[in-house]
Amino acid sequence: MPVAIGIDIGGTRLRAARVRHGVIEARATAPSSRDPAEVTARCLALVDQVRSPEVTSLGIGVPGQVHADERRVLSGGYVDLSGFDFAGQVQAATGLAVVIENDATMALLAEAAQGAAAGCATVVMLTIGTGIGGAILERGRVLRGIGAAGQLGHLVIDPLGRACVCGRIGCVETVSSGTAFALHLAEAGLPPDTKAEDLLARADAPARAVIDAWARPLRAAIDSLVTVMNPDCVVIGGGAGAAAVAALKTVPPRASWFSAPVRAAELGDDAGVIGAALAALGTAPRGKRAVLVNGVPASGKSSVARALADVTGWPVLALDTIKNPFLAALPPGDRLFNRTLGRASYAAIFDLIADAPDGGTFVIDAWFGFQPVETLNEHLARAGVTDVAEVWCHAPPDTIGARYAARLGTRLPGHPGAEYVPELIGLAARAQPTGLAPRLDLDTTLAPDMAALRRFLDRTFGNQSSAR
């Protein structure tokens, strides 16, 4: 698998890491700067410190608004990299493919891959620091709107509140960020070095008032985001993230139609560089990935394939989907005709993948045992599939036979009829997975555990199991 470098640009530190399979192999840091030219030079020096011959790409997380598709920084805070082609300069100097994203997006990619949101498809993340950053995954994809969605710190929670640097009034950043916490302390007459943890351990009125003024608006923002996005979870990270999660416990959510667990980020300062490296791997030259959803007819594989597509957005290529229009248009044939058409449809699946651009992931719904494994290997190779995972769908043979018999009335002419049921029961008893790739076994008499399936795909593909 390619190796990437991730860089996280902060107001205090610049961090870089070489990352393989989500694991940091080498690190380097440098002080940050307000000068864009100095930041650029220091980033290039960090790349030199952690680079190895296997590195193919570079991801950079920056504060402020970023138009990721155009690789443009639209705005910044302490470190403002807008107004010049930062990504282009770094790419020209390093010769590496460069991807650039908002720093909160990079952190979310890491937390979704191997942190607090692992196995979740739709996630909202807030990073609490000097300001409040944010990012959203929607069914495994970064939500970008027309270029720079996810600026969650600028969700308005008080239209009569404080002026924000963005030009609006009452953004949650003005009352629930780290900077806002210091303002609450000053207004309460408390020492500026007072920590949120100290106040949470106290029961006096000034301490409770500061915590409430800091946490209650954040709870309101989270409640609104949960209503809009209906996420699997909300992750809170950033330098003040752990304190914010603790403070939120003093303002529990009201009973509502809408709910989602709030989790503390798990990866700490490593989230930014790991996420940046994972994002960079999306730009590296690569082939295609295939998830073989395998099982005999009526094993439940089609339901699993559809459920997987629903949470990832990956396309499903199913043997019957290709074959059935021909069965509907042509005169009914015999068993040999059906098998011949099946072989042609099988080849057509891989023809479609071969014509698709590199980088895609495809869910293939088929009983792969009806053709030799060597044939499957040949198809995968010519289609340019470089990474494969197998999901083996099974159920008791009698259950499979009963399923097949129950749907005979909906099957097109040309499919085997009731006489096939005993043969299918025997096939189900002896059928085996392909053995070509890492495998997850699913008993389809139970509801599929999609979180476990996504974790399996994360491990197998060495990356977040979603298209980005």
Residue of 297, 435, 442, 455 whose CA lies nearest to 376: 435
DSSP 8-state assignment for residue 315: P
**Rounded Cα distance, 403 and 145, in Å:** 43
For 131, 134, 184, 190, 222, the CA distances from 196, given in Å and listed in that order, are 16, 21, 11, 12, 19
Question: Cα–Cα distance between 254 and 227 in angstroms, integer?
Answer: 13
Query: CA-to-CA distance for 331 and 96, rounded, in angstroms?
Result: 56
**Whether residue 399 has pLDDT greater than 90:** yes
Q: How many residues does the chain have?
A: 468
Q: Measured between alpha carbons, how far is residue 59 from residues 166, 449, 466 in Å? A: 26, 32, 17
Q: Which of 189, 188, 105, 195 is nearest to 150 (CA)?
A: 105
Strands 23-31 and 13-20: antiparallel
Structure confidence at residue 100 (pLDDT): 94
Question: Residue 76 and residue 67: Cα distance in Å, rounded?
Answer: 12
Higher pLDDT, 240 or 458: 240
User: Is there a contact between 452 and 442 (Cβ–Cβ < 8 Å)?
Assistant: no
Helix or strand run (H / E) with residue 225: helix 205-229
CA angle 337, 340, 341 (to 5 degrees): 85
Residue that is written with structure tokens 């000034």 in the block: 206
- What domains appear along the chain, each with residue ranges and CATH number? 3-106+276-281 (3.30.420.40), 118-265 (3.30.420.40), 288-461 (3.40.50.300)
Cα angle for residues 233, 239, 243 (degrees, 5° grid): 65
Tokens 């979310």, residue located: 108
- Residue 355 CB burial class (10 angstroms; 0-12, 13-18, ≥19): exposed
Cα 313 to Cα 327: distance, rounded to the nearest angstrom = 28
Amino acid at 192: P
Band of residue 284 on the pLDDT scale cut at 50, 70, 90: very low
Going by pLDDT thresholds of 50, 70 and 90, the confidence category of residue 144 is confident
| Average pLDDT score over residue span 65-72 | 87
If DSSP states are collapsed to H, E and C, what string results for 87-153?
Answer: HHHHHHHHCCEEEEEEHHHHHHHHHHHHCCCCCCCCEEEEEECCCEEEEEEECCEECCCCCCCCCHH
| Distance between CA atoms of residues 452 and 124, nearest Å | 20
The reported pLDDT for the residue numbered 394 is 97
Sign of CA pseudo-dihedral 39, 44, 48, 54: positive
Question: Which helix or strand (DSSP H or E) is residue 404 part of?
Answer: helix 397-406
With a cut of 60, say whether residue 413 has pLDDT above it: yes
Mean pLDDT value of segment 139-168: 90
Residue 189, phi-psi category: left (phi > 0), alpha (psi -120 to 50), beta (remainder): left
Q: Which residues of 265-294 are buried (b: 16+ CB within 10 A; e: fewer)?
A: bbbeebbbbbbbbbbbbbbbebebbbbbbb
pLDDT tens-digit series, residues 216-261: 999 999 999 999 999 999 999 998 999 999 999 999 998 899 999 9
The DSSP 8-state label assigned to residue 419 in this structure reads G
Could you tell me which of 143, 141, 169 has the C-alpha nearest to residue 155?
Answer: 169
**Range of weakest confidence among 1-5, 351-355, 436-440:** 1-5
| 302: CB partners within 8 A, 6+ apart | 293, 318, 320, 365
Closest alpha carbon to 94 in 55, 64, 134: 55
> What's the confidence (pLDDT) of residue 462?
54
Predicted confidence (pLDDT) at residue 426 exceeds the cutoff of 90: yes
CB 265 within 8 Å of CB 115 = yes
334-350 pLDDT, tens per residue? 778 888 998 999 999 99
Report the predicted TM-score, pTM, of the whole model to 2 decimal places.
0.64
Distance CA 356, CA 350 (A): 10
Q: 441: buried, middle or exposed (CB in 10 Å: 19+, 13-18, 0-12)?
A: exposed
pLDDT at 287: 62
Does the pLDDT of residue 467 top 60, yes or no? no
